[in-house]
Chain A
Amino acid sequence: MTEAEGYVDQAVAGVAEPQPMYKALRESTPVFRSPQAVVLSRLADIEMALKRTELFSSSMDAVDLGNIRPLIPLQIDPPEHAKYRRILDPLFTPREMARREPRVTELVNDMIDRFADRGECDFHEEFAVPLPCTVFLQLLGLPLEDLDQFLEWKDGVIRPEGDSGYDRSHENMAPAAQQIYDYFERAIDDHIASPRDDVLSSLIAARIEGEPLTREEILDICFLFLIAGLDTVTDSLDCFFVYLARHPEHRHQLIEQPDVLPSAIEELLRWETPVPGVIRVATEDVEVGGCPISKGERVSPLLGAANTDPAEFPDPDLVDFRRNPNRHRAFGGGPHRCLGSHLARMELRVALREFHRRIPDYEIKAGTELAYTAALRSVESLPLTFPVPAR
């Protein structure tokens, strides 16, 4: 096995500090054929693959999540993709997210209330997992008591039992996927009967050239939201708080210079790249960096490698909360740029601001060995200890 192969195995298995692997791949084999996919690690190649959707498709052939139809908009390529983004993008603009910020702030504080007096918490279990899931339920207008059920389904399709990383079998995911379809069928009925100010009602009311979305289209959008909106923010929170627990000088900067927060979030997104790569499939025989890729092969642009490429980032291994410019690709790029990026930014901003206001100092509990999950970078558990804040 070559060194590069070993690194890719690590990435699939989940790795605490992937940046040295990105560097090694970029420098030794920037276009690397692994058993699962052709891995791209140079920013220029990654950018090309993300933009040229006619060559590198994001269709259902790229990733199987147990779904029976393409997820909308992720698995629909341009030009059809644009008609969906035209109705979805307005629901997720920074302005629309700002409108929801007070409620998220309240929620974050409620969650901190539950453990602040204890002097310790499992940050993953008690904060990073329930926060995005609760925000999602609020946003779509679904009952908050469905939280546990949602988490089970999400893990059932993202981390199905018996699967690891890219090596996925449709059969392992299909039962959870079917339950997701069934749940949203009922939720759509409920929202048709009583519309309200939420995203699901907006989808039902949306018109494309005068025509409403079909029920299947709405289901395929909801399924994508569930996949894309929950795990990724959990991953980001886990990665960020591990970093901040281990780098008190960076954490102090957030507290002493609150104005740095937005650019600190961009820098943490760059450095940690919680979604380290995406998957595409070649639509024809093509060559990248001298490496032939056959039609039908999977291609994985490694976003984390793009984000540490010295061709774009001077001193890429330096984490500088005031880095400017910072054209990171943590949310991808091109037509499939993460639809929820502004929701994610808002959740991360509120979480970091409120948590550090209430609990400025914390450590990872002594003796903890962090286990990172496969493919998406969360940790299985993140025990933090901190002084109990004075009342």
Chain B
Amino acid sequence: MTRVCVDADRCEGHGRCYTLAPGIFDADEVGHAIVRIEKVSGELEAEAIDAEQNCPEGAITLSP
């Protein structure tokens, strides 16, 4: 299982994560990222890696 975390101070609302991984991330009312599912594995884990690697602000961290 991988733990997904968004640093709200770094997120600027690019929206890449909830576009690429809508199963894990969602937008709050201003379009900043929120995590819907904190622990992921399998296909969702691959999605989470995609999102983490595409965040222009480096705001997403994945940890075991």
- Could you tell me which A residues sit within 8 Å of B by CB distance? 85-86, 89-90, 92-95, 262, 324-329, 331, 333-335, 337, 341-342
Contacts and interface: CB of A to CB of B under 8 A. Distances in A.
A72 B53 CA distance: 31
B55 interface: yes
Given A334-B12, A337-B12, A327 B31 contact: no
Contact of B14 (A85, A86, A331, A335): A331
A341 B13 CA distance: 10
A89 B54 contact: no
Contacts of B57: 333-334
10 contacts: A90-B30, A92-B31, A93-B29, A93-B30, A94-B27, A95-B31, A324-B50, A327-B53, A329-B56, A337-B13
Nearest to A331: B14
Given A324-B50, A329-B56, A90 B31 contact: yes
B43 to A, nearest CB: 16
A350 to B, nearest CB: 16
Contacts of A89: 13, 30-32
B53 A325 contact: yes
Contacts of B29: 90, 93
- The main secondary structure of chain A at its interface with chain B is helix
Interface string B11-45: 01111001100000001011110000000000000
A335 B14 CA distance: 11
A136 B21 CA distance: 29
B12 A335 contact: yes
B56 to A, nearest CB: 5
Contacts of A334: 12, 57
A86 B56 contact: no
Given A89-B31, A335-B12, A342-B31, A94 B56 contact: no
A325 B18 CA distance: 15
B54 A86 contact: no
Contacts of A342: 15, 31
A92 B29 CA distance: 10
Given A324-B50, A328-B56, A333 B31 contact: no
Contact of B54 (A85, A92, A93, A326): A326
B60 to A, nearest CB: 11
